[in-house]
Amino acid sequence: MSNWHRPRFPGMVTVLIAVLVMTGCALSRMTDRNESRSLPANQTADTRLGRAIAPLADAHPGESGVVLLENAHDAFAARALLAEGADATLDVQYYIWQYDITGTMLLDVLYRAAERGVRVRLLLDDNGISGLDEALAALDTHPNIEIRLFNPFVVRSPKWIGYVTSFQRLNHRMHNKSFTADNQAAIIGGRNVADEYFGAGQGALFADLDVLAIGPVVHELSDDFDRYWSSVSAYPVATILPEAGEEDLARVVETAKNCSASSAASKYICAIEDSKFLNNLLAGNLEFTWAPVSMISDDPAKVLGKKPKNGLLSRQMAEAMGSPERSVTLVSPYFIPTKTGVEIFRDLERKGVQVRVLTNSLEANDVAMVHAGYAKYRKPLLEAGVQLFELRKLPGSESVEGDLQKSLMGSSSSSLHAKTFAIDGKSLFVGSFNFDPRSVHINTELGFVIESPELTQVVENHFEEQVQVTAYEVVLDSAGDLQWIERNGEEEIRYSHDPGTGLIKRMLVSFFSFLPIEHLL
């Protein structure tokens, strides 16, 4: 009898079935989890930060002090020094935290803060912590450090297996980014914790953008951190990761020591040593812009597929920023307006509102699928009257040409990563929100709405300067076809296809544009 119909690899089939059964199991319910909350600001008023900030806040009642952190090295140093300045608590929340130079060094400053008695709470999205399981489990053994993973994977390696049976749950991620010391000072914005976010030096403002804040908005942010920390999606690492011991913690500390002593870390060490940030902050000499600032964020229940009333950042942002009357300046690395967004922009243009958009060019974009989702809207946007600019690939940034995996999935190292919106020269949004369906419907996001004409003007002026020297302007020619204009001083170069790209990449983007995946991007 023929046996052609029998499985040829019964062992492999058995393993596959076992994996599917295992990954199909739901996360276990949490029955034992310590509950904690941020310390009220009046309980941290006598910390170094509290004493330094109180006179400034008292002189500006109802307003928050804001500093834009545009330089990458300054943004790294500000986080490290803010941790060194903390006396009571550190509440830290991130989407990506890599075990590279900057990630290792910032874990070390958290550890050293815990060593001197600071309570450290670290909340990380489980999708962006590749290679960190052992280090996190070890740090969590410290009596002053508690770490939780948001929406964790059951199978630790390879994690992609979880998407096979739990895609609906795991597709929702916590994209929030915040770093708060003593409920007195905080940093939020577009940067995750990884070398590519802190390596741009004196690059363009829009390579990435963070905000340092003091005042009432910090207390709002601390309350929001508590909401995520106590949500049903935040699992203590001890319930997810293998048990660690004292020797594991010692190994993590030694790794950090070796990292800091390496030549590769020297530029970050110098950034910290040369920075006057902490001294100026503690001495009350840091120059803040004072303005009404509102924190807006998604309800963490969004990852469960729920949409609580007024619990979506997109709705809060629309309410906070109102109806534009003169201008909208939008910066987003991953920009997918959808048909609805195009119609919104068209209506604004009809009302005389100038709409300008800066996003990544194809040569700079690190996620080809996302670019495909955007590219099909270029003509409709231009026909609607939108001024469209695409940032060129900055020197030193990675190319997606040579790495198909990064082209498909994204390496988070594109030359443009800032997410900001400026309205009417009066209001400014800075945060984690991209203008795409994923930020609107799938991931949770966080940001500040800053009602400051001064800072809004700074961003708008930088926009005008940057697009002239670092971006292509996308226009329609007389035949209605796309053209890219590159300006280099008096020289003007026109391209009839995406500049700096090969035929294969353009074909790949064209193929992706036909796939019915826009709602996932």
Active site residues: 175, 177, 182, 417, 419, 424
For 166, residues 6+ apart whose C-beta sits below 8 A from its C-beta are: 23, 24, 154
Q: Which helix (H) or strand (E) holds 267?
A: helix 266-274
Q: How many CB atoms lie within 10 A of CB 317?
A: 18
The span from the CA of 142 to the CA of 139, in Å, is 6
Query: Which structure tokens are listed for 276?
Result: 């006057």
| Interatomic CA distance for residues 288 and 290, integer angstroms | 6
- For 192-343, list the strands marked E by DSSP: 210-214, 234-236, 289-291, 293-297, 327-331
**Amino acid in position 275:** S
Question: Distance (Å, rounded) from C-alpha 189 to C-alpha 201?
Answer: 17
φ, ψ of residue 273 to 5 degrees: the values are -65, -35
**Structure-block tokens of residue 390:** 């695409």
Cis omega before residue 453 (within 30°)? no
Q: What single-letter DSSP state applies at residue 144? A: T
**Residue type present at position 445:** E
C-alpha to C-alpha distance for 202 and 71, rounded to whole angstroms: 6
Amino acid found at 340: T
Centre a 10 Å sphere on the Cβ of residue 214 and count the other Cβ atoms it contains.
24
Cα distance between residue 445 and residue 432, in whole Å:
6
Q: Quick one: DSSP state of residue 92?
A: E
Q: What phi and psi values does residue 3 have, to the nearest 5 degrees?
A: -115, 25
Query: 348 with 322: CB under 8 angstroms?
Result: no
What gap in Å lies between CA 150 and CA 127, rounded to an integer? Answer: 9
Tokens representing 117? 């008695």
Q: Among 398, 456, 404, 448, which Cα is nearest to 426's?
A: 456
In whole angstroms, give the CA distance from residue 464 to residue 84. Answer: 37
Question: For the chain, how many helices (H) and strands (E)?
Answer: 18, 19
**Whole-angstrom distance, CA of residue 391 vs CA of residue 471:** 4
